[in-house]
Structure 1
Amino acid sequence: MKIIIAGAYAIGTHLAKLLSRNNQDIVLIDEDEERLANISSDYDLMTMNASPSSLKTLKNAGAEDADLYIAVTPDENMNMNSCMIAKALGTKKTVAKINNNEFMEPKLGDFFENLGISSLIYPENLAARDIVNGLKMSWVRQRWDVHDGALIMLGIKLRETCEILNEPLKDLCKPESPYHIVAIKRGDDTIIPRGDDELKMYDLAYFMTTRNYIPYIRKIVGKEHYVDVKNVMIMGGGNTGVRTAQTMPEYMNAKVIDNDESRCERINELVDTDRVMVINGDGRDLPLLIEEGIRTTQAFVALTGNAETNILACLTAKRLGVRKTVAMVENFDYVRMAESLDIGTIVNKKALAASHIYQMMLDTEVSNIRFLMTANADVAEFVAHQDSKVTRKKVYELGLPQGATIGGLVRHGEGHLVSGGTQIEAGDIVVVFCHNINMNKIEKFFK
């Protein structure tokens, strides 16, 4: 697959790294030679020091026969214009990153398609959706709904209250069990578990289950004492903070704190003021946080543009008794540090945007894919066809590559967990968890 990426910024470089694992034909374009130098020596791709808005550049990059053109520079006008040029030259699909939420109106989809822009990405929307999903379940670090919730994957930090520590998984995850452990993040290591593996305190365990068993999972991991989130404090009134406040369910109330007075006035025009209070102040000001009721707040969300500020603010909120904390950490170098400090959920909108685009490179029918930055792993939904290799044998006989496991499947709209003796059928939507392997190796089982 031939893929052209315009913009060697965080999204473009992260995406190039993800795609280069799968031996794709990648060209990365940027006007800054230094940005290109930071990535080209470490990954299998071609770089071009040129303007993505140039017709000559796109021709030289091979846009005439490219499968996918991805424009993720900070300039949305350049992104959209270069997509139009690439499409006119013959590129099959184009993707543009934008900064204006108004363009995401569903009724505008055909309009942009006719212009030559196949898909638009607004990272703030993706981040807000991720944050709100996490707020709905205060005891979960990460949640991923498969096929509209037919299956649920939950990333849960295990504490001393967990009932299933130090027992072999073969005794816990039997064919009739209502959950499977598909991965374990332990320190810096990601484990695709086998029957003899055990869960340990402070593991981040990934459970695959169905919606009706979520209360059961909550009980066995010892999280029943976590209160549901009703009051949320958001530090930072940027686009991500506003989108989070706008998309929260009706039973939640929020206080948005921002130190820019004119920005606060603008936020008041954008949110439902019956449920969202906007406060002009410094979210790092401890007396202000106490005065505004942080001790009775169930969730604290730090969304400023400064990763260090967000991390420290979440640590402070934790000390003040807030159970659920979320920090936006845009600097990839800080993600591991944030994890080691156990600050709660980490959101990186650039990684979310890259994951969203990532699925477009797969040529099998893949309806959803997500890169789990914390676990350095992919979770993907594949569709099994009539003659797919995956339908010819039971799961334990398939010979899946090391680092891959099947977590569940959706059949006729109903979610089912998978064991070694499961027979996958044509039409099944199969959820595969992959760590540190080429996704193309999994694709072959579904062709």
Structure 2
Amino acid sequence: MKIIISGAYAIGTFLAKLLSRNKEDIILLDENPENLDKISSEFDLLTMECPATDIKGLKAAGVEHADLFIAVTPNEPANIAACAMAHQLGAKKTVARVDSPAYVEEQNKELFRKMGVDDIIYPEILAAKDIINGLKMSWVRQRWDVHDGALVMLGIKLRETCEILDRPLKEISGPNDPYHVVAIKHNDETIIPGGNDTLQVYDLVYFMTTKQYIPYIRKIVGKEHYVDVQNVIFMGGGKTAARAVKMLPEYMHAKIIEQRTERCEELNNIFNEDTLVINGDGRDIGLLKEEGIRNTQAFVALTSNAETNILACLTAKRMGVRKTVASVENFDYVGTAESLDIGTIINKKAVAASHIYQMMLDANVENIRFLMSVNADVAEFTPSPDSKITRKPVKDLNLPKGVTIGGLVRDGEGMLVSGNTQIEAGDSVVVFCHNVDMKKVEKLFI
């Protein structure tokens, strides 16, 4: 597959690195040679000094043969124009990054398709959705819903209160149990578990279950004493924070602490009186106490500085906040944040890249998510008639090493998968992959 990425910034470089591991034919364009130098020396891909809307440069990059053209520069109009040009020059699919929330509304998608833009991404909205999912369940690090929750994947950090520690999975997660363990992060190792593996204290464990059994999962992992989130303090009033506050359920109340006076004024114009905007530093312990940190169940740090966010979350935890969320855009700090037990880690470029990644696949795939914590992908595939995965029961499929099927949705009903399960065309199948080329998995479904 030939892929052209315009914009060697956060999302573009991360996406190029993600795709280069699959040995795709990638060309990364940018008008600034300094942005290209580092990535070209570290990864197997071509780079070209070229503005997003330079017709001569696009032709030289071979855009007429591109299976996917991705414009993710910081310039919204340039991204849209570049996609329209790439489409006219022959690119099969195009994706543009935008900064206007109205552009991603359903009623506007057809307008952009007519312009030659097949998909629109607004990273701040995607990140905000992840934040809200995390806040709705204070005891969960990560939640991923399939078909509006017919199936649910929960990433949970195990503590001493967990009831199912130190027992083989074949004893606690058999065919008749209402959950499957699809992955375990033990210390720095990701495990796609078998029946003899055990769960250990401080493991990060990914459970697949159905919505009605979420309370049961909460009980067996010993998280019933975690209070539900009602009050949230956001540190940093940028676009992601603003979108997240707008998406908060009605029963949650938010305060935003922002250092920039002019941004505080903008936020006051955006929100009604239910959201208090405070001009100050979210690391100021005196200010946090004054704003009721002791009666706050969640603290979300979304400044542009990863170190600041990590330290602020540590401070909030020491002051009794159970649920903390940190934006960590620098991947060098992700491991540090996890080792410090920060809580939920948000990375906009990883979320956006996952959304784009699914456009590469020929199979019918609804959703792909890159899970930074376990360096793995989880995807929702729909098998075609007579695809390989529908020909035999799961136990006879000889799935590639590092691949497990967590569950499926059939006729709107979620169900877990056992070795005897026969997958059918039209099912929505949730596949978990660690160190596996997704293109290999895709072949099972087409």
Question: Scaled by the length of structure 2, what TM-score is found?
Answer: 0.98
How well do the aligned residues superpose, as a CA RMSD in angstroms?
1.1
Which amino acid in structure 1 is aligned with residue 49 of structure 2? N
2: CA distance between counterparts of 1:209 and 1:272?
38
2:347 maps to 348
1:162 maps to 162
2:331 maps to 332
Q: What are the superposed Cα offsets for residues 192-227 of structure 1, whole Å, 9 maximum, x if unpaired?
A: 001110000100000000000000000000000000
1:32 maps to 32
1:179 maps to 179
1:313 maps to 312
Query: Is 1:232 equivalent to 2:220 in the alignment?
Result: no
1:297 maps to 296
Q: CA deviation at 1:129?
A: 0.6
Which amino acid in structure 1 is aligned with residue 362 of structure 2? D
1:415 maps to 414
1: CA distance between counterparts of 2:50 and 2:108?
31
2:72 maps to 72
SS of the residue 1:374 aligns to: helix
Q: What are the superposed Cα offsets for residues 333-358 of structure 1, whole Å, 9 maximum, x if unpaired?
A: 11111111111111011111111111
SS of the residue 1:182 aligns to: strand
Q: What are the superposed Cα offsets for residues 241-266 of structure 1, whole Å, 9 maximum, x if unpaired?
A: 11111110101000011112221121
1:124 maps to 124
1:148 maps to 148
Q: CA deviation at 1:88?
A: 1.1
CA contact (8 A) 1:234 1:257 kept: yes
1:263 maps to 263
Once the two structures are overlaid, the 10-residue window that deviates more, 309-318 or 388-397, is: 388-397
2:14 maps to 14
2: CA distance between counterparts of 1:263 and 1:427?
48
2: CA distance between counterparts of 1:102 and 1:423?
42
Q: What are the superposed Cα offsets for residues 42-92 of structure 1, whole Å, 9 maximum, x if unpaired?
A: 333221122221001111111112121101111112211111110111112
1: CA distance between counterparts of 2:394 and 2:229?
39
Q: CA deviation at 1:374?
A: 1.2
CA contact (8 A) 2:405 2:417 kept: yes
Question: Scaled by the length of structure 1, what TM-score is found?
Answer: 0.98
Q: CA deviation at 1:21?
A: 2.5
SS of the residue 1:445 aligns to: coil
CA contact (8 A) 2:268 2:277 kept: yes
Q: CA deviation at 1:267?
A: 0.6
CA contact (8 A) 2:363 2:383 kept: no
2: CA distance between counterparts of 1:115 and 1:393?
44
SS of the residue 2:373 aligns to: coil
Unpaired segments ≥5 residues, structure 1:
none
CA contact (8 A) 1:246 1:272 kept: no
Which amino acid in structure 2 is aligned with residue 395 of structure 1? V
CA contact (8 A) 1:330 1:350 kept: yes
1: CA distance between counterparts of 2:242 and 2:425?
43
Once the two structures are overlaid, the 10-residue window that deviates more, 361-370 or 98-107, is: 98-107
The total of aligned residue pairs comes to 446
1: CA distance between counterparts of 2:199 and 2:88?
53
CA contact (8 A) 2:325 2:344 kept: yes
1: CA distance between counterparts of 2:108 and 2:227?
40
SS of the residue 1:446 aligns to: coil
2:189 maps to 189
1: CA distance between counterparts of 2:370 and 2:236?
26
Which amino acid in structure 2 is aligned with residue 359 of structure 1? Q
2:426 maps to 427
1:49 maps to 49
Unpaired segments ≥5 residues, structure 2:
none
1: CA distance between counterparts of 2:106 and 2:271?
20
CA contact (8 A) 2:150 2:211 kept: yes
